[in-house]
A and B are shown apart, each in its own frame.
Chain A
């Protein structure tokens, strides 16, 4: 039993923090928003160059074959910078799903290729127009198609950095890859959305802390007032109790049992709640500034709202936890229990 990260994992996280921190600054956000764009080719190239898109792709498909925990550490950093590019959707969810079915599929020859996912649970698909492959769920099967083989209708998200599409398609124009483990894809999506939520939450708090130190009212920094302090302390408390949940959920995804599914669901619920709480506290602390595009807090609220409902609503995930609570032993000795050991 050991709840610490390895040096190598720490290093991945540090590399991701530096790379994303340097290439996805507020100036970069503003530039993209002015252009009405949500994809920066130069940044994506650097992400690819650092191996992040190959991280959890199995070696058979030319990837590094690392685990979900390793990727989650990067997803946290992606959340911290409200990353516009589809690192998490493509490299965290789409690529391992497609690789498990078709490791020789053409996109794996190019680590920059984007693999979009259209699970039945989501009404829209992110980045489908620029994808090299779209993996679509129907009746438990995975079908793969290219953007020109399907009809994509752009849908505007309140999050300026989410590029969403409704998809209509015909089985005749797609390739049936057979039954797929959509449950595992959903678990990965829940855990990585949670990881992003953790990053979003911390950034929202950090932005508010910075502002509260500088902004003066009644002759002193607003951050010296307890009402302001307590909003942010509550948000930080939620963050402290989200992080271990996200890390444990990521470390356990591969078990694919009732407990690991519940853990992924828990992580998703608490992390996106923490993100929303932090974003709202941050808006309150920024006053009218927070209600505008003059500061960047709105990006964190918007991403939190999006991730909270996609890949399973809170109600959906609560029902998965209920299954674990009411069908398996619960109690103090069950924190790390597995379904097969309880059978």
Chain B
């Protein structure tokens, strides 16, 4: 155990910091889920990031990355959040599909899909959930039928984040007539392909953050299937592991939020309940617990370990910590908490609302607790 950075790691941090200081947009961009303009402003930012080669630092160089290790990735993320850089509009691509493609894709697929993902030229949505298949994802009904060297896709997907504006989706389909976990495939389709209809859905905060997607005889080349035919369920579970265990929520996000909360408290403590200081301090403790846990995971993975069922404890921890942090902020704001935040200011209210989705998406926390109980603790099903 060595909890100090090497000179190289410190130099890397300095390099990231100075690049971000020079490039991060000064004003806050409009939210990528709010309007097409907000979405495109974030795409432009991804292009700027790519110009500095910062799109996805852990990927190999040939696929648009820098070939860096997970500790460097954590350092990059720390600097990214510290700099207040824009949210990653392509997070479903770079953090979920990217690592999965790296593990299951062919060289040709990686060459085709990863570089434009790293640069934001192609922004991705995840199309797994269906009206009748939420927690019970194995109940997916959308079908993929191979005709020659093309798949014909049909079905109804829903809750697909950013799909209203995104370019591509990675969807979960099944061979017609197949049951449950068997004969599923993960297939990519362009969101503007003939036969695709997207209907925006308003989120609780009013943004068109997700869409439902209807697929009516959508034809895509068989090249767009990731992994073998029928391997879809296995691949989805691997993606979910990356999502919950490491990539989706880097600690830096919560550490910066906890720091902002401490500053909010300092400004307002004379006008609110002094007992709230304990919750402010606790938000810091939680964020640091999460950071140390992720450093431990990164070290373990670098030493050759694989992410297991403990990824589910992560998902519970960060989602509950996020709610605690933001409810504390609203308690400090008191009777002003309900006021919609002026553009450009720290939006505690919207972040609180978003924190409430944490226990639902990426597999609900009830499902995560089932997984922990059954796979980590060995309790009977």
Contacts and interface: CB of A to CB of B under 8 A. Distances in A.
A326 B280 CA distance: 11
B176 interface: no
A243 B266 CA distance: 31
A5 B3 CA distance: 12
Contacts of A326: 262, 266
B216 interface: no
Interface size class of chain B, counting residues whose CB lies under 8 Å from the partner chain: 35 or more
B1 A331 contact: no
20 contacts: A1-B6, A4-B299, A5-B1, A209-B378, A223-B379, A228-B379, A233-B376, A237-B317, A244-B293, A244-B295, A245-B289, A251-B3, A266-B285, A318-B278, A318-B281, A325-B280, A332-B77, A332-B252, A332-B256, A335-B288
> Among the interface residues B256, B262, B284, B379, which one has the most CB atoms of the partner chain A within 10 A?
B379
- Lowest 4 A-B CB distances belong to which pairs? A229-B373, A332-B252, A3-B299, A233-B369
Contact of B289 (A242, A251, A334): A242
Contacts of A69: 1
Nearest to A9: B1
A321 B277 CA distance: 11
Contacts of A247: 1, 296
B82 to A, nearest CB: 5
A96 B292 CA distance: 27
Interface in A194-230: 205, 209, 212-213, 220-221, 223-224, 226, 228-230
Interface string B244-280: 0000000110011011001000100000000001101
A232 B375 CA distance: 12
Interface of B: 1-6, 9, 13, 71, 77-79, 81-82, 251-252, 255-256, 258-259, 262, 266, 277-278, 280-282, 284-285, 288-293, 295-296, 298-300, 303, 310, 313-314, 316-317, 366, 368-370, 372-374, 376-381
Max chain B CB contacts within 10 Å: which of A4, A220, A244, A245?
A: A244
Interface in A320-343: 321-322, 325-326, 330-336
A164 to B, nearest CB: 29
A269 interface: yes
A237 B373 contact: no
B4 A1 contact: yes
Given A221-B380, A335-B255, A1 B9 contact: yes
B317 A241 contact: yes
B369 A336 contact: no
Contacts of B317: 237, 240-241
A2 interface: yes
Contacts of A325: 262, 280-281, 284
With most chain B CB atoms within 10 A of its CB, the pick from A205, A233, A322, A330 is A233
A243 B317 CA distance: 14
Most buried by A among B2, B288, B313: B288
Nearest to B81: A332
Nearest to B291: A335
Contact of A241 (B82, B293, B376): B293
Nearest to A220: B380
B372 A3 contact: no
Nearest to A324: B284
Nearest to B9: A1
Given A209-B379, A236-B372, A240-B310, A1 B71 contact: yes
A266 B298 contact: no
Contacts of B290: 241
Nearest to B17: A333
Contacts of B316: 233-234, 237
A252 interface: yes
A312 B352 CA distance: 33
B379 A229 contact: yes
Given A1-B71, A237-B317, A230 B366 contact: yes
